[in-house]
Amino acid sequence: MTMKAVVISSPGGPEALEVREVEDLPAPGEGEVLVKVAASGVNRADTVQRQGKYPPPPGASLYPGLECSGTILALGANVPSRWAVGDQVCALLTGGGYAEKVVVPAGQLLPVPEGVSLTDAAGLPEVACTVWSTVFMTSHLSPGESFLIHGGSSGIGTFAIQIAKHLGIKVLVTAGSEEKLAACKDLGADVCINYRRLCSTHKRRNWWKGC
């Protein structure tokens, strides 16, 4: 049995990526699930791995792809009962997302939110886990507080704006253009700051734009 996967033929640019027939994956082990991949996220680490500068950790898949979305095909032993064959999920991976199938520890799965397509869900795990772990688990940001987000129009920034507003937090963002600030405003940012207006050391007026 075989499956298709994107492999890195040799370190380099996008041309180094090739779709090949590769050996099929083994059955999921204890605490693991097998996911049929619908879409994969593209992260900075994936591009650096393609360039040969970010080798996968020992035991990880040789195929790139640190996040994906798809449908559960099979369950290993002792997988929590919340997961079942046929569930739509997205996952944070150590690698292997650029393939037709991937084996994932159940603890690295997330349910696909209602109303979100599988294609869009493939880009959720990295930003969701990064924002939640650093901002809320580590820094304990709480409702009623204020939150300054630099690079508000980035992937991390746009997710952070939305989750913070949902939790009742005042959000201030910085970005480098009016277009980016408008996007942040549409997501709920309360104060939008164009940092390019701060370049002059002699003139500081009109450096912020209230939403």
Helices (H) and strands (E) in the chain, counts: 5, 11
Identify whether residues 18 and 103 lie together within a single domain: yes
CB 72 within 8 A of CB 89: yes
Identify whether residues 115 and 136 lie together within a single domain: no
90 forms bridges with which residues in the sheet? 69, 110
- Confidence at residue 143, expressed as pLDDT on a 0 to 100 scale: 96
Number of domains the chain is built from? 2
Print pLDDT tens along the chain (211 aa).
899 999 999 999 999 999 999 999 999 999 999 999 999 999 999 999 999 999 888 989 989 999 999 999 999 999 999 999 999 999 999 999 999 999 999 999 999 999 999 999 999 999 999 999 999 999 999 999 999 999 999 999 999 999 999 999 999 999 999 999 999 999 999 999 998 876 544 455 554 545 5
Identify whether residues 18 and 65 lie together within a single domain: yes
Rounded to whole angstroms, the Cα distance separating 68 from 88 reads 11
Rounded to whole angstroms, the Cα distance separating 173 from 195 reads 10
Q: Is 49 helix (H, G, I), strand (E, B) or coil?
A: helix
- Confidence at residue 205, expressed as pLDDT on a 0 to 100 scale: 52
Q: Which positions ≥6 away from 58 have C-beta within 8 Å?
A: none
- Confidence at residue 201, expressed as pLDDT on a 0 to 100 scale: 40
Rounded to whole angstroms, the Cα distance separating 98 from 50 reads 12
- Confidence at residue 196, expressed as pLDDT on a 0 to 100 scale: 87
Write out the two tokens for 60: 């990880």
**Which residue is listed with tokens 């369950």?**
75
Identify whether residues 57 and 143 lie together within a single domain: no
Write out the two tokens for 78: 């002792």
- Residue 137 has phi, psi (to 5 degrees) of -75, -40
- Confidence at residue 151, expressed as pLDDT on a 0 to 100 scale: 95
End position of a domain, from candidates 78, 98, 119: 119
Structural domain including 69 reads: 2-119
Q: Which positions ≥6 away from 210 have C-beta within 8 Å?
A: 190, 191, 192
Identify whether residues 81 and 135 lie together within a single domain: no
Identify whether residues 85 and 170 lie together within a single domain: no
> pTM to 2 decimals?
0.85
| Residue of 155, 163, 176 lying closest to 136 (CA atoms) | 163
- Confidence at residue 136, expressed as pLDDT on a 0 to 100 scale: 96
CATH number, domain containing residue 113: 3.90.180.10
| Residue of 11, 156, 33 lying closest to 96 (CA atoms) | 33
Write out the two tokens for 65: 């792809």
